[in-house]
Amino acid sequence: MFAKSFDAAVIGGSYAGLSAAMQLARGRRHVAVIDAGKPRNRFATASHGFFGQDGAEPAHMIAAAREKLTAYPNVYFIADEAVDASGQEGAFAVTLASGQTLRASRLVLATGITDILPDLPGLAERWGVSVLHCPYCHGYEFGGAPLGVLATTPHCAEKAMMITEWGPTTLFLNGQPMPDAGVLAKLARRRVTVEPISITGLDGQGQALQAVVLSDGRRLATTAIYLTPRTVMASPLAERLGCAFEDGFFGPIIVTDGKKATSVAGVFAAGDAARGMHNATWASADGVTAGAAVHHSLIFEGLDAA
């Protein structure tokens, strides 16, 4: 049980949240990091592209960042889920699933997003290993192998044109409309094969993918398949607090300004939940921006009125 009041509560303790907390910690402010421990990339065994940590296990990267923060006695870690948040700048209350409540002058929402995957046999269990969304994160490793793109939106034709950079590519329409003649011509120029027959499932040993199985019985050799999932907020807290949303590339995102301040005074948001393009580097950079901005707002609050 704790009844502590914090300068800031960071909700979400992954790339964005821990980066925000680090700035506040170094600013000598009291910060609570509340984390439910489910980062978006927890399905992947390796994370790629992050400065100095290419190929590291996601859980190790997050653990290393946490460990650095434990050196700061003004940072308080809470392994719990924040189920409600209310109040106003200077006086927020955050309720945890355990029933406890903490108070904070500022909030940083770094709660991430959840991927809504298409409902296809054999797909969900391969997510993050051989069913993927981002070739920069997971593409180099499959270089030269037969690759697929599962059409989920009209933009998937462009994705297929891109994926040929990594290997010979089939665009599986799986019920999505046939692209128009202009797009088909571009797909042909990029050597994308278009497969209109619907998919019955994905097949392979364990989490590896060997074949996409079609409803006419064919099995097309495929080593990795890319898709664009729809995304939703991983937490309803931004909505509860009244933050404004906008449409991102993949789903709703929290509206923020250049300092990662939301439309609600005293509430900042960072990472996937508050940006259209997603990766760990951008999430971390957003966290740095939000953490520094929260610190500045604490320093300068009330000065004008004095």
Ligand X SMILES: Cc1cc2nc3c(=O)[nH]c(=O)nc-3n(C[C@H](O)[C@H](O)[C@H](O)COP(=O)(O)OP(=O)(O)OC[C@H]3O[C@@H](n4cnc5c(N)ncnc54)[C@H](O)[C@@H]3O)c2cc1C
Footprint of ligand X (CB under 6 A): 11-17, 34-41, 43-44, 47-50, 81-82, 110-112, 115, 127-128, 137-138, 234-235, 237, 271-272, 278-281, 283
CB of 275 to ligand X, least distance (A): 8
In the bound state with ligand X, the residue whose beta carbon lies nearer, of 36 and 161, is: 36
In the bound state with ligand X, the residue whose beta carbon lies nearer, of 173 and 238, is: 238
In degrees and rounded to multiples of 5, residue 93 shows phi and psi of -120, 130
In the bound state with ligand X, the residue whose beta carbon lies nearer, of 48 and 295, is: 48
> Which residue's beta carbon is nearest to the bound ligand X?
271
CB proximity list for 128: less than 8 A, separation 6 or greater: 41, 42, 43, 44, 45, 138
Q: Is 270 within 8 Å of 108 (Cβ atoms)? A: yes
CB of 145 to ligand X, least distance (A): 18
In the bound state with ligand X, the residue whose beta carbon lies nearer, of 43 and 72, is: 43
In the bound state with ligand X, the residue whose beta carbon lies nearer, of 161 and 238, is: 238
Quickly tell me which residue has 């770094």 as its tokens.
110
* Among candidate residues 29, 25, 30, 19, the one with its CA nearest the CA of residue 62: 19
Report CA-CA distances (Å) from 149 to 76, 84, 178, 195, 229.
Answer: 43, 39, 14, 10, 12
**Strand pairing category for 199-203 and 193-195:** unpaired
Q: Is 171 within 8 Å of 195 (Cβ atoms)? A: yes
Q: Is 24 within 8 Å of 7 (Cβ atoms)? A: yes
CB of 159 to ligand X, least distance (A): 15
CB of 216 to ligand X, least distance (A): 30
In the bound state with ligand X, the residue whose beta carbon lies nearer, of 17 and 146, is: 17
CB of 15 to ligand X, least distance (A): 4
CB of 46 to ligand X, least distance (A): 7
* Among candidate residues 95, 103, 141, 83, the one with its CA nearest the CA of residue 8: 103
CB of 117 to ligand X, least distance (A): 10
In the bound state with ligand X, the residue whose beta carbon lies nearer, of 14 and 262, is: 14
Q: Is 219 within 8 Å of 213 (Cβ atoms)? A: yes
Angstrom distance (rounded) from CA 219 to CA 212: 6
